[in-house]
Structure 1
Amino acid sequence: MFITIKHGDNQQFLANINCSFLLLMHYIRDKAGLERTELIDLCEENGTLKLLFLVKFPEDNANKFLTPRGTYYICRVERGAPGTKHENGYRAFHPVFKHPPLDLIDSLRNQCDFLEKSRLKMLRSQDGKKPPTMEALLSSMAGQVVGKSTGKAGASAASGTDEDGSPRKLTGAAKARMEASRKDKHR
C-alpha cells in the first residue's frame, strides 16, 4: 500500500500508508527536507486537499485518509500570525513543487477561500457559543468538493436549481427535508 509523493524540482518518492498517520507525516517531512513543526497537507493531482492537518487522532492508520497507488503533492499550510485574532484563519496553501500546474494553484486558492469563509460563517453563527468543530468544517468542505467534481448538474442539485439555472420544484418529501434542515441550522 504505497503512494507517490511529489515535491521540489520534479522529485518524488514512495511512502507506505500502512502505518500511523503521525509516522507517515514525519516521514514525508524528513524526505522532503521540511521542518518537523511545519504545517503541511497533501493534495491530489487535481488539487483536492486531503485536510490532513485537521486530523484529530494522529495514531489512526494513514490508509484511512489516502488512496493506495495515488499521487499527491505536498502543500504548506499558511495560517494567520500567532497571537492575532486571525491566528486560526486560513491564509493559503502553497504546493512544495517548483513548477506546479496553474489549475492546481487555482484549486488550492479556491479551497482556501472556501475554508476561511466557512470558518468565519461558523464563528458568526456561534455568537458566544462554543467554537466550531473540525468535523463541521470537514463536512462542509466535503460537500463543496463533491459539488465541484460532479460538474454543473452536481452544483445545480446542491443549489436547488435546474441545469439551466431556473428554480427547481420540490416534491413534498424534499420540501419537508429542506424545512427540517433550515430549522436545524437556526437552532
Structure 2
Amino acid sequence: MFVTVQFGEGHSEIFNTNCRVINFIHCLKERCSLDTEECVDLVDKTGELVNLSDREQSAERANYLMRDRHTYILIRVIRGDGTEGHKYEPLLRDLGKNYPELADLLKKLSNPHKEKDKKNPSRRGLPQRDTPTNHTPRSKRATSPRKSSTVTLRN
C-alpha cells in the first residue's frame, strides 16, 4: 500500500502507508526536508483533507486515512488560536497553475470567516449557531413475544 506525495518544485515521492500515523508523518517530514516541528497535512486534487495534523501522535494506521495508490499534495498547517481556524499553505510550487480549483479551495479553507462575511454581511461578527443533525435512520426493534412466568409460593 502506497501513496504519492507532491511537494516543492514538481517533486513527488512514494510513501508506504502500512505504518502508524506518527511514523508516516515523521517519514514525510524527513523525506520532504521539513522541520520536525512543522505541522503538515495532505490534500488530494479534489480538496479532500486527510487531517493528519489532528492525529500527529496517533498510533492509528495511516492506510486507514488514505486511499491506496492515490496522489496527495503536501500542505503546511498553521494553527490558529481559539478565535481563528487553521490556515493551509501548499508546499507545492505553482499550485495555482497546476490545480487552480485546489488553490482557491485552500484559500477558502484558510479564511472561512472572510467567505462567510462576504455571503452574509448582515451577520458579521455574530457567532454562528451549530445545529446538530441526526441523519441516522432509526432501527426497528425486534419484537419477541414476552414469556410470562408464574411464581408459586408454598408454605
Instruction: Report the Cα distance in structure 2 between the residues aligned to 1:56 and 1:115, rounded to whole angstroms.
Output: 26
Instruction: Report the Cα distance in structure 1 between the residues aligned to 2:43 and 2:58, rounded to whole angstroms.
Output: 18
Higher relative contact order (CA 8 A, sep 6+): 2
Instruction: Report the Cα distance in structure 1 between the residues aligned to 2:48 and 2:54, rounded to whole angstroms.
Output: 15
Number of aligned positions between the proteins: 121
Q: Which residue identity is paired with 2:66?
A: L
Report the TM-score, using the length of structure 1 for normalisation: 0.56
Q: Which residue is 2:53 aligned to?
A: 53
User: Alignment partner of 2:105: what SS?
Assistant: helix
Q: 2:94 aligns with which of 96, 99, 102?
A: 99
8 Å contact from structure 2 (residues 39, 53) kept in 1: yes
8 Å contact from structure 1 (residues 79, 87) kept in 2: no
How large is the Cα RMSD of the aligned pairs? Answer: 3.1
Alpha carbons of structure 1 residues 6 and 121: separation in structure 2 relative to 1, 3 Å = farther
Report the TM-score, using the length of structure 2 for normalisation: 0.66
1 or 2, which has the higher helix percentage?
A: 1
Percent identical residues: 26
Q: What per-residue deviation string (whole Å, max 9, x for no partner) do you get for residues 118-156 of structure 1? A: xx957x77xxxxxxxxxx9xxx9xxxxxxxxxxxxxxxx
Structure 1 runs of 4+ aligned residues shifted over 4 Å read: 114-117
Q: Does 1:2 align with 2:2?
A: yes
Q: Which residue is 1:24 aligned to?
A: 24
CA apart distance, 1:105: 1.2
CA apart distance, 1:26: 0.5
8 Å contact from structure 2 (residues 22, 56) kept in 1: no
User: Alignment partner of 1:50: what SS?
Assistant: coil
CA apart distance, 1:109: 2.1
After alignment, is 87-96 or 21-30 more displaced?
Answer: 87-96
Alpha carbons of structure 1 residues 55 and 91: separation in structure 2 relative to 1, 3 Å = closer
CA apart distance, 1:113: 3.8
